[in-house]
Amino acid sequence: MTPERFSQMWCRNRIQQLSAFVLLTVCGFTVLNEAGSFPDFAFVTGALLGLFILLEWSRIHKYIRLVPVGALILSIFLVQSNKIAIQTVGAAIDRAAFFAFFFTGFSILREAANSSALVQKCGFILMSQPPGRRYLFMTLGSHLLGILLNFGALNVLGVTILNQLKPESESQKKAIRKVRMRRMFTAVQRGIAAISMWSPVSFAMVLIFTDLPELNWSDYAPVGMVIGVLFLIWGAILDKLLHPNVSQSHQGAIKIAPFFNLLALLGTVPVMAILIVQFLPYNFLVSMILSSTLCGAGWMAFQSLYSSGLSGFAEVKRRVLVDLPEVFTAQRNEISMVGFSAFIGILVVPLIDPVWVQNLLLQSGFDQTWLLICIGWVIVLGSFVGINPVVTVTILLGLVRVVPELSFPPVALIAVISISWTVMITVSPLAAAQMLTSRLSGTSVREIVIHWNGLFAISTMLAMDILLILLL
């Protein structure tokens, strides 16, 4: 290694450690703020978030950089023109900081899962299923792994899929390989996307229950779980209808012991969260993030001590000082995109005249059922033209508070948002799932959106619309 290269790496490591420290400080202020008994550190937190963005600027995707820059320009303009109060900017900073806390807290658990032999073993078992039950097991297994890894599960399982698809002989036809690839990738995509329907660690649930703090996740969870199961089952049924000639032979015994171990690990997170709720002044959502952080840290320490023997403590030190700063700062794009999209949504809500919205709704003649249907399609179709659903949902939930015509039954509103969000993940050409799937599979985004997921997405949305019409 040349002296110049060593100097660059040393400098980058120092910047990375500083950046990670700044991000952890943002998380610390957010934890204090969520306790409710401390002063509001919004503008200190905002300055630290800005410093984090500057430190990571060169590694933030060039298009994503526009979001925090736009948020800064918009906030300055609106305050200078007296369109919003300075307190609104503080609330927007708190929302962006909360998402930074969310991504950072769960990143520790995901790092532990990424380096876990148990998770890799579960992935191999899923890939090894015979064709007749492959889709169902892969969609259920990816759903479980997705709780830990989010879309990182798509990356982990995607590489394994490609390894499984390597031709075993020259006679293996490209058409068969293409069908297998489509079935496995759509199963994984839909399994991971369904997390948004119920999981308290999904973007959708976090956004909804931070915007509507008077609602409890536990009140909606049973409904969301049922919807999630129906979503996964419908995907399996559609796969069977589209591929009726899949071989049912060699349906051997299923090795599920590793999945029970994984479920036991996952179960410790909500158990610890319940204990935090009982003894500390935090709601369940914040407690889940804190619990995931503690469980992830414990899991990483166990991995290091178990695999490294006497040198385990040195391995723990290496992961804390080397691996974790990289893990924390790797959240730069998510914090910039999701956190500052929520920031913009908070700023925009006060600009919308609720009386104008109320009159518009009255003139439309739509009842609550049709308004919910429209909301669902706006979330999905808006993503096709680059409107981040974080912005759409933040504005919508802000209007729900002030426009009587938008006072929907809470469970129905959350269900519509979560279903539409899940469908958006599977079908929007700008969604991360499509970008990653396209890169891994070598398939165009257009092919994935239209031919792989188009029928599934449209049928799911129409089923939601029909149920709304029948039940409301």
What are the structure tokens assigned to 378, written together?
């706006």
pLDDT, one tens digit per residue, over 168-214 is 444 456 777 888 889 999 999 999 999 999 998 898 999 999 888 78
Cα(142)–Cα(121) distance, rounded to whole angstroms?
Answer: 13
Percent with pLDDT over 90 in the chain: 49
Q: Is 255 left (phi over 0), alpha (psi -120 to 50) or beta?
A: beta
Asked if pLDDT for residue 467 goes beyond 50, the answer is yes
- With cut-offs at 50, 70 and 90, classify the pLDDT of residue 167: low
Taking alpha carbons only, the member of 297, 347, 289, 379 closest to residue 100 is: 289
Cα(107)–Cα(104) distance, rounded to whole angstroms?
Answer: 5
pLDDT for residue 169: 47
Burial of 409-439, coded b for 16+ CB within 10 Å and e otherwise, reads: ebebbbbbbbbbbbbbbbbbbebebbebbbe
What are the structure tokens assigned to 191, written together?
């399994």
pLDDT, one tens digit per residue, over 432-447 is 888 888 888 888 999 9
Crossing angle between the packed helical segments 257-279 and 117-127, to the nearest 10 degrees: 130
Asked if pLDDT for residue 310 goes beyond 70, the answer is no
- Residue range 73-81: average pLDDT? 95
pLDDT, one tens digit per residue, over 242-260 is 887 665 555 555 677 788 8
Kindly report the pTM of this predicted structure.
Answer: 0.88
pLDDT, one tens digit per residue, over 343-401 is 999 999 999 988 888 888 888 888 889 999 999 999 999 999 888 899 999 999 988 88
DSSP states along 333-361: HHIIIIIHHHHHHHHHGGGS-HHHHHHHH
What are the structure tokens assigned to 363, written together?
């003139």
Asked if pLDDT for residue 265 goes beyond 80, the answer is yes
Cα(184)–Cα(130) distance, rounded to whole angstroms?
Answer: 12
pLDDT for residue 6: 43
DSSP states along 434-453: HHHHHHHHT--HHHIIIIIS
pLDDT for residue 2: 56
Give the residue with greater pLDDT, 66 vs 1: 66
Asked if pLDDT for residue 111 goes beyond 50, the answer is yes
pLDDT for residue 210: 87
- With cut-offs at 50, 70 and 90, classify the pLDDT of residue 308: low
**What secondary structure letter does DSSP report for 299?**
H
CB 272 within 8 A of CB 230: no
